[in-house]
Amino acid sequence: MVLRTWLRLTLLQVDARIAALEAEAAAARRRAAPPPSPDYRIQRSPGAGRTATSVHLGSCGMARKAPGASEDAARRALAEGVPACQVCRPDTELGILDAG
């Protein structure tokens, strides 16, 4: 009877430790996961004006450091004459055709 009680208590301790390790692993995975890439990016010129120089898809390597932008902001920038990246072609993705 004593052995059965000891085994039960040991099993509870093992189960608690397994649960703690699984929680730690899940937390580490959440911390390690990079944030999702934005759908679009608007690259800006350096300096005080920071005018938009080109619109990119969020996954484009040409604008890795450019801030993310929404689809509406990308459409608006393209409509205002900001050029689309010639590599990733966000205008094609958005269905915007060049009138020229």
Q: Per residue of the chain (100 residues), what is the pLDDT tens digit?
A: 899 999 999 999 999 999 999 999 999 888 887 878 899 999 998 877 788 999 999 999 888 889 899 999 999 999 999 999 999 999 998 888 764 4
Task: State residue 12's pLDDT score.
Answer: 96
Give the alpha-carbon dihedral of 58, 61, 64, 66, to 10 degrees: -60
Task: State residue 100's pLDDT score.
Answer: 45
Three-state SS for 41? strand
CA distances from 13 to 5, 6, 23 (A): 13, 11, 15
Task: State residue 88's pLDDT score.
Answer: 94
Whether this model's pTM surpasses 0.75? no
Number of CB atoms found within 10 A of residue 18's CB:
10
Rg (CA), the chain: 26
